[in-house]
Chain A
């Protein structure tokens, strides 16, 4: 599904050039659950931004479902993003002025889906994530765990093929963190591809494969399959 070929990302100011990603190669198959780990500043978040098409590569190719989106304009990226991707962030990034329902319906709004269908799909997702009773609350009225669950609901409401999660449990305590990881696992079992950046080793082991990064390079990849299957037993 995803194929990064010699992808480089550099940030340039007037005098300084910082290379965040250095000729990365990465493949992700459909239905995989991949975790990306590494110390601070290694380029994990940048990698996620590239994968999520919210940032452009400086060099290299990014094949998404066979299309090379590396040279796409903002508008073109936006279209591909709309139809295929869902995002979950460490700091939730809900819009404070909108209710839970309104936050979750946002992606559907931008796809021009009718009000009736929106209502039906959003309510269905809220049920599935078990947050329907907070439907009309504002983010400030929810706990951290509940906010992240709403974020997850928002990420999946448009039935994305790929979910990108940037430290989804970073701001949560262990109980809530576990809950979110369970959710992600369930989604993956239903066929959604997930790429997750994380600091937490235990949470990384929910994935099938762990990619380790350092200083803009991919160091190694470990397969975690055994541990995962062990959990399910």
Chain B
């Protein structure tokens, strides 16, 4: 029995190659997408679950609630003293650790690299995160200041095959650290980014106790280890008292310590100062949904094509029933055929995934593996999926075909019940609805990306190179020398310096107060610049004047204990002026005060001498922030970090090569121990939208796939109905119908279905894309264009698909059609 089914299934496949190919191809594409996306989703949901105590670890983040119209500041990090205070106040916590990282120069003899993965941490870190040490003792490796544990890759990078233990590396060319351990590289699926671990106490020794005692220096990732079975709500309930106790009476009015579960961080946390860019839960859901829908389309396809062939199989069904088959046996036969097809499709799908995986990996920047041969569980899952799909997709055709009454089909009378036809039409409409929605989504994403890249930022981003100096010293004493050398070059138009450059994210803020505003003060973002900043970037001054060296009074003089109150001049952007209650003109001359110590005990006060236009400094996902500008020297004596460590060079178009050469030679001459770090501002802006670009690409691909599969389905359905109407077409031709008449007749029905599909697709797409666009502070209007375009495209594709078939039917000889036996 089984062999008979297998035989006829295989022979059917071979003798109807076109249909078999379409079916297998369609299913394979659907399955391949599901597999690929499942691998991705499985990986994304596995982050941080491998730590032994993963369920017991929480991160204590910080939120600053902005008053007066600004957004809340969401930080993943906290103040340095939070950790130890939590440990002291809550003895039920098993352990509390802090991790602090900064971009630092690390060197050994002649080689030096900027490292963003050096993290300074408490020695108890190994009690929280069970990082395996290859060499060294976790209990003691970080107990001394100036100790460092290298990851395997880092060890290889700096020491090659030598044994690094006990050797010395140098931080920032001035701080030696001793290698006290080698650790395994962290796996990729953790939100932590730690290539090397150094002892946090080093910083306290190097920069004084104030480094670890500053409520305003929220740069420390703080993790608590709770006992097993602990209810975190206990801790959360006690936080408000903790804040009042240690920070201020009214601390709860303006700050919060949200507590995040470790395993939730990767998918749900997108605060500032994350260790590295996290994933997105929405992304995971979106792609899962897309994969599911693609598979659904492919299954619908299968159903349609199988029932379309039913005319040919009807006689066989009738005969088998006459020969004694009951309905169950026939259902079994047809299900067997679809399962066979599905298994073949699965094999093809696995091959497709193998081919596509390297490209997919480079696309999403991951290293996903699809190891089905080495993992019997995975293999079983694949087979189960194939079986499930085979059963699901084959169910409708099996039940439909097996229901034929022998008398009906043997009579040669193939009147389809209207019920069957309706279901098939619903399937095709659904396929097109899904495809159209995807096309609309793609159109909107691409349009928004175009908008972002073409937006007038209010500043010049073309022909600007940004140099970034050493993290803790910037350009040191070479700033002015280098600037002058650059300016001597005729192809360089302007040079400037600032602590942040356009395309950076500004999360800094200082306490300020101003004339006519709240004497308590507020926080406001700031930018430290030199005199030529606005000129270099072409930012318009809309009231007053720009900073001027000649005046002599603009430059910030840093307050000290002896002179706690100093003076300078300030500039605001238009938004800052408005927030303080002024038009740009009204702001001129008003006094402005910046607190450099605690609560204005030390401060700089001076007049507002100019207001500049608002500029799109960062990604358009964020609203423009109010900003005050202060002009400073690059660095002050004894300060831990420079006032600004970035330099911007505006050059004439067409001279990029000579400018780059000049930069490199000047840098090497002035900062020999610091690796060159330069980038183009327009590249930096483009990089802001990398995720969205990727999303746009993925959407495009999925939309194309969906349309392709939907067209396969449409083709099948069209083939079927055309075949069914062969006799009708023959008669119409004999009665005088032209080829054009026939083609119009056949395409008219499908046009209706495609138009109906739009009715479903448009609202869904509109709702979803509106939500997506709302994540951008600045966005396009969701106009009608992408919708209309998608509708037209679907219509044209449908016509092309069906029209070909219709034309062929219309051209055939009527005699052939009318001879009905």
Contacts and interface: CB of A to CB of B under 8 A. Distances in A.
A110 B4 CA distance: 11
Contact of B322 (A45, A74, A81, A111): A81
A25 interface: no
A221 to B, nearest CB: 25
A91 B11 CA distance: 22
Nearest to A94: B319
B621 to A, nearest CB: 60
Contact of B405 (A55, A106, A111, A154): A55
A97 B410 contact: no
A124 interface: no
Contact of B325 (A49, A94, A110): A110
B323 A97 contact: no
A82 interface: yes
Given A54-B407, A109-B4, A97 B12 contact: yes
B702 to A, nearest CB: 37
A78 interface: yes
Nearest to A154: B323
A107 B1 CA distance: 11
B561 interface: no
Given A45-B411, A110-B329, A54 B406 contact: yes
Overall SS of chain B's interface: helix
A107 B318 CA distance: 13
A97 B315 contact: no
A175 to B, nearest CB: 22
Interface string B322-364: 1111110100000000000000000000000000000000000
A54 B322 contact: yes
B545 to A, nearest CB: 89
Interface string B389-416: 0000000000000000111001100000
Contact of B324 (A52, A94, A111): A111
A95 B316 contact: yes
B320 interface: yes
A54 B321 contact: yes
Nearest to A85: B322
Report which residue of B1, B322, B406, B407 has the largest number of chain A beta carbons within 10 angstroms of its beta carbon. Answer: B322
B691 interface: no
A45 B408 CA distance: 12
A192 B309 CA distance: 38
Interface string B1-38: 10010011001100100000000000000000000000
B4 A102 contact: yes
A116 B269 CA distance: 69
A231 interface: no
Interface in A16-62: 45, 49, 52, 54-55
Contacts of A49: 407
Contacts of A97: 7-8, 11-12, 15
A98 interface: yes
Interface residues of B, number: 26
Interface in A82-120: 82, 87, 89, 91, 93-95, 97-98, 102, 106-107, 109-112
A79 to B, nearest CB: 8
Contacts of A95: 8, 316, 319-320
Contacts of B406: 54-55
A49 to B, nearest CB: 5
Given A95-B319, A109-B4, A110-B325, A54 B15 contact: no
B821 interface: yes
A94 B11 CA distance: 15
Given A102-B4, A109-B4, A82 B324 contact: yes
A45 B11 CA distance: 32
Contacts of A74: 326-327, 405
B8 A98 contact: yes
A75 B323 contact: no
Nearest to A164: B322
Interface string B185-199: 000000000000000
Contacts of B12: 97
A110 B318 CA distance: 14
Given A93-B315, A97-B12, A110 B410 contact: no
Contacts of A107: 323-324
A110 B8 contact: no
Contacts of B326: 74-75, 78
B620 to A, nearest CB: 62
Contacts of B405: 54-55, 74
Contact of A78 (B15, B321, B821): B321
Nearest to B408: A55
B1 A109 contact: yes
A78 B316 CA distance: 16
A180 to B, nearest CB: 19
Contacts of B324: 78, 81-82, 106-107, 110-111, 158
B4 A87 contact: no
Contacts of A54: 321-322, 405-407, 410
A140 B241 CA distance: 90
A49 B412 CA distance: 13
A118 to B, nearest CB: 10
Nearest to A97: B11
Contacts of A102: 4, 7
B267 to A, nearest CB: 52
B5 to A, nearest CB: 10
B11 A93 contact: no
A2 to B, nearest CB: 18
Contact of B320 (A52, A106, A111, A158): A106
Contacts of B821: 91
A142 to B, nearest CB: 17
B3 to A, nearest CB: 9
A151 B407 CA distance: 18
Contact of B407 (A55, A75, A112): A55
Nearest to A151: B319
Contacts of B322: 52, 54, 81, 87
A81 B321 CA distance: 10
Nearest to B16: A97
A111 B324 CA distance: 7
Interface in B766-821: 821
Given A93-B315, A97-B8, A106 B323 contact: yes
Contacts of A87: 322
A194 to B, nearest CB: 17
A184 B11 CA distance: 33
Report which residue of B12, B316, B318, B323 has the largest number of chain A beta carbons within 10 angstroms of its beta carbon. Answer: B323
A168 B324 CA distance: 20
A49 B315 CA distance: 15
A117 to B, nearest CB: 14
Contacts of A89: 410
Report which residue of B319, B324, B406 has the largest number of chain A beta carbons within 10 angstroms of its beta carbon. Answer: B324
A172 B801 CA distance: 42
A95 B312 CA distance: 11
Contacts of B1: 109, 112
Contacts of A94: 319
Interface string A121-150: 000000000000000000000000000000
12 contacts: A45-B411, A54-B410, A55-B406, A78-B325, A82-B324, A95-B316, A95-B319, A97-B11, A106-B319, A106-B324, A109-B4, A110-B323
Those 5 A-B pairs whose CB atoms lie nearest each other, nearest first: A82-B324, A110-B324, A55-B407, A54-B406, A97-B11
Given A54-B322, A74-B327, 12 more contacts: A75-B327, A78-B325, A78-B326, A81-B322, A89-B410, A93-B410, A97-B15, A98-B7, A98-B8, A102-B4, A106-B319, A110-B320
